[in-house]
Chain A
Amino acid sequence: MSPDLWSLYSLMLKSRLFEEASAKLWQEGLISGEMHLGTGEEAIIAGVVSHLKDGDAMALDHRGTAAMLMRGIEPVSLLREFLGYTDGLCCGMGGHMHLFSKEHLVASSGIVGSEGPTVAGFALAAQMLRPETIAVAFFGDGAMNQGMLMESMNLASVWKLPVLFVCKNDGWGITTKSEDASGGDFNDRARGFGIPAVEVDGLDVSKVWEVSGSAIENIRAGQGPTFLHAKCVHFEGHFLGFQPIRVVRNPLKEMPKIAVPLTKSFLRIGGASLGERIAGMKSVMSSVITALRDPRRDTNNDPITRVRAILQSDPIRLKELEDQLEKDINNILRKVLGKVQP
């Protein structure tokens, strides 16, 4: 089977527009706290979620908006939750990091790695109560170093649980490079637990769709868990207002705030040798330089641009779809913002 690129693109673009609208509301101060966008990982989410059926469950991380939307959770109630309204998805109690839908069997968490135990439990219930349903976990590469996720992989393996573990690898755990924090290879880790590992280009929605489709088929057939490893980028970094991205976008404003105390501390009496201090300074500077060269800013890494390039073969249909989605988002915004909070 080949994927329906139009419907995948539609899912991805709807999510992108929704999150961009959310980001604007966050900038305006209407959404509080940390705001983690999934912009950049839409191909992974769309490719996997479009295979899900009634009764399937999802365990999400702190970046769950795209998966929630694509699973069919009502966008107005989702956005009203971000705004903290008492008629939001979780009555204004959870906010964007703690989204829940009992109806859709979707739970999210702001605790890194907790998707592991959650997906294992959902899958156990699926195995015992709902034959041929499955549970999917979405998490980042940072979670791969969390004990509870590793333990859950082992549990899912020995109990042959119907789980798809999806690692959305953007190469960063907040400001820490994945390669500086992770030993060995993630695929080998999964295989070490006896779980088949499949790596796929997370920017290519067709490939994600194909690979996750056959993995999910096997999982539904009772063959136990699979680990899907997909690389992607997060255009906004870890969350909105992310300091390294601020430095990149406004170096003149942000650099002095960092450089002045850094230099003062570097020069203070007492501490490491000059050589070690210089090495330390180099490592801080190299983090800044890495941020400046962040692939997140490269539009070639946008999964939406990629799929759109293919669909441009039918520009009329493309325009119709995009116009419709924009209209949909504006309607959502009107409904969300037009109503006063009860």
Chain B
Amino acid sequence: MKTMSFIQAADDALAQAMAENPNIIVFGEDIPLLRRDLLVRFGQKRVRGTPISESAFLGAGVAAAMAGLRPVVEMYMVDFLGVCMDALLNHASKIEAFSGGKWTTPVVVRAPCGGGYGDGGQHEQSLWGMLAHIPGLTVIVPSTPADAGGLMLAALKHNGPVIILEHKLLSKTWLEILGSGARETVQFDIPDDGTKGEVPQKWDPIHIGEAALRREGRDVTIVSLGVSVHRALDAAKKLEAEGISVGVLDLRTVSPLDKKTICKEVKKTGRLLVVDEDYETFGLSGELSAVVLEAGITCKYARVCTQTTIPYNRKLEDQVLPNVERICASVRQLMK
């Protein structure tokens, strides 16, 4: 069986799609260096560097998609979308509706996200809730190499704007650039299953909007995504020893949400715990409670999320981001 790292898988699926579709182009800051492997295979016209001008190049990506290209626009970090939100908020998400469904914007926005390496609150956010809040945007958060590749391919075939958020703790490349700087003196709590894993011989698209049940459980259903899926799985193993059976559902896509599977799983256990690295209020965790309530499901509910600006101090940071201890404590509370 073939194995790949998280970013390798995403890049490999991208390369497969680029070989099939000459209209796929990739651009963003420092891309000639960051995606040099793609550059030497697909040429400088299709793999381009940009100035540090996010409003210009993301906006241009949206319009280029309208005019026939399939751009993959890379942001250095999801946090920097703050600079150029207009392209997503008022354009990419709205063109299809405004044109009466006649004109779409098949642009893929790729951005590293998430914390756990001490870079401070302006560089470690998740923000998928904010993005998924906007109708018209598809938001993908893979947690394994296989999903990173399969969902990348799906995004490249999707007929609308897709944002793929790649957690930095899952990527050796990003962690080396932003976290360690090739130092051996720093450690990160990296989930092995997310950073390297089995991948198919040839990529097939994974259906967007389909959650994956990572672990069956009878007592509590944890719904999660990204790195938190791995934290939840670690917690589930720990809790098993205490006689609590915890299931873990990996959303994989935030928008659209796989409401059917969420409801099915929560109905089985009657207890829902959301583990979401994004901010707690007005986001995904609250949305999930609405999903089950609207479906008429009665359940106990709790959430482990990020409540404040992420501290720079590594110890404080570890407490603020969802961790195994907080997850276990919440599960035990739900069992009372």
Flag whether A142 is at the interface (Cβ < 8 A). yes
Flag whether B246 is at the interface (Cβ < 8 A). no
Closest to B180 in A: A241
Inter-subunit contact A32/B314 (CB<8 Å): yes
Q: Which residues of A contact B36 (CB under 8 A)?
A: 258, 262, 284
Inter-subunit contact A113/B83 (CB<8 Å): yes
Inter-subunit contact A284/B32 (CB<8 Å): yes
A 233-259 contacts with B by CB, 8 A: 239-243, 246, 258
Segment among A13-21, A275-283, A300-308, A317-325 that sits at the interface with chain B: A275-283
CA A294 to CA B179, docked complex, whole Å: 24
Inter-subunit contact B44/A283 (CB<8 Å): yes
Flag whether B118 is at the interface (Cβ < 8 A). yes
CA A242 to CA B309, docked complex, whole Å: 27
Flag whether B30 is at the interface (Cβ < 8 A). yes
Inter-subunit contact B83/A33 (CB<8 Å): no
CA A205 to CA B178, docked complex, whole Å: 32
Inter-subunit contact B52/A148 (CB<8 Å): no
Partner of B313, one of A86, A181, A261, A284: A86
Flag whether A85 is at the interface (Cβ < 8 A). yes
Main DSSP-derived SS at the A contact region: loop
Flag whether A111 is at the interface (Cβ < 8 A). yes
Flag whether A266 is at the interface (Cβ < 8 A). yes
Interface residue total, chain B, C-beta cutoff 8 A: 56
Q: Which residues of B contact A113 (CB under 8 A)?
A: 52, 83
Q: Which residues of B contact A272 (CB under 8 A)?
A: 41-43, 45-46
Flag whether B51 is at the interface (Cβ < 8 A). yes
The answer to whether residues A174 and B83 also contact, given A98-B122, A181-B52, A272-B41 and a CB cut-off of 8 A, is no
Inter-subunit contact A241/B182 (CB<8 Å): yes
B 134-183 contacts with A by CB, 8 A: 176-183
Q: Which residues of B contact A85 (CB under 8 A)?
A: 313
Shortest B117–chain A CB gap in Å is: 6
Inter-subunit contact A27/B118 (CB<8 Å): no
Interface string of B11-23 (1 = CB under 8 A from A): 0000100111000
Inter-subunit contact A111/B122 (CB<8 Å): yes
CA A266 to CA B39, docked complex, whole Å: 9
Q: Which residues of B contact A271 (CB under 8 A)?
A: 15, 18-19, 41-43
Q: Which residues of B contact A273 (CB under 8 A)?
A: 43
Flag whether B129 is at the interface (Cβ < 8 A). no
Shortest B321–chain A CB gap in Å is: 14
Q: Which residues of B contact A171 (CB under 8 A)?
A: none
Q: Which residues of B contact A97 (CB under 8 A)?
A: 119-120, 122-123
Q: Which residues of A contact B177 (CB under 8 A)?
A: 243
Interface string of A141-159 (1 = CB under 8 A from B): 0110111100000000000
Partner of A277, one of B41, B56, B83, B180: B41
The answer to whether residues A98 and B15 also contact, given A112-B52, A181-B51, A181-B52 and a CB cut-off of 8 A, is no
Inter-subunit contact A284/B39 (CB<8 Å): yes
Flag whether B280 is at the interface (Cβ < 8 A). no
Flag whether B82 is at the interface (Cβ < 8 A). yes
The answer to whether residues A35 and B30 also contact, given A94-B312, A284-B36 and a CB cut-off of 8 A, is no
Inter-subunit contact B182/A98 (CB<8 Å): no
Shortest B57–chain A CB gap in Å is: 10
Closest to B37 in A: A265
CA A26 to CA B119, docked complex, whole Å: 13
Interface residue total, chain A, C-beta cutoff 8 A: 62
Partner of B80, one of A111, A147, A241, A242: A111
Partner of A98, one of B20, B32, B55, B120: B120
CA A270 to CA B311, docked complex, whole Å: 46
Partner of B32, one of A93, A239, A261, A283: A283
Interface string of A19-61 (1 = CB under 8 A from B): 0000000111100111100000000000000000000000000
Shortest A255–chain B CB gap in Å is: 13
Q: Which residues of B contact A34 (CB under 8 A)?
A: 119, 123, 178, 181
Partner of B39, one of A33, A270, A280: A280
Inter-subunit contact A174/B44 (CB<8 Å): no
Flag whether A175 is at the interface (Cβ < 8 A). yes
CA A33 to CA B180, docked complex, whole Å: 7
Closest to B179 in A: A33
Partner of A265, one of B15, B54, B179, B182: B15
Q: Which residues of A contact B316 (CB under 8 A)?
A: 84, 86, 92-93
Flag whether A268 is at the interface (Cβ < 8 A). yes
Flag whether A95 is at the interface (Cβ < 8 A). yes
Closest to A241 in B: B181
Q: Which residues of A contact B55 (CB under 8 A)?
A: 147
Inter-subunit contact B40/A280 (CB<8 Å): yes
Shortest B26–chain A CB gap in Å is: 12
Partner of B118, one of A84, A181, A266, A279: A84
Flag whether A109 is at the interface (Cβ < 8 A). yes
The answer to whether residues A146 and B178 also contact, given A28-B185, A84-B118, A110-B120 and a CB cut-off of 8 A, is no
Inter-subunit contact A32/B32 (CB<8 Å): no
Flag whether B29 is at the interface (Cβ < 8 A). yes
CA A90 to CA B50, docked complex, whole Å: 34
Shortest B293–chain A CB gap in Å is: 36
Interchain residue pairs A-B with the least CB separation, the first 7: A241-B181, A32-B118, A29-B185, A270-B19, A95-B312, A276-B43, A145-B51
Q: With contacts A27-B185, A93-B311 known, what are 14 further pairs, Cβ within 8 A?
A: A33-B117, A93-B312, A97-B120, A111-B79, A111-B80, A111-B83, A173-B29, A175-B33, A181-B49, A243-B182, A265-B40, A270-B41, A271-B42, A280-B42
In the assembled complex, 12 residue pairs joining A and B whose CB atoms fall closer than 8 Å, in A order, are: A26-B183, A27-B185, A33-B117, A113-B83, A142-B51, A147-B56, A173-B52, A174-B30, A180-B49, A280-B47, A283-B44, A287-B32
Q: Which residues of A contact B (CB under 8 A)?
A: 26-29, 32-35, 84-86, 90, 92-95, 97-98, 109-113, 142-143, 145-148, 173-176, 180-182, 239-243, 246, 258, 261-262, 264-266, 268-273, 276-277, 279-281, 283-284, 287
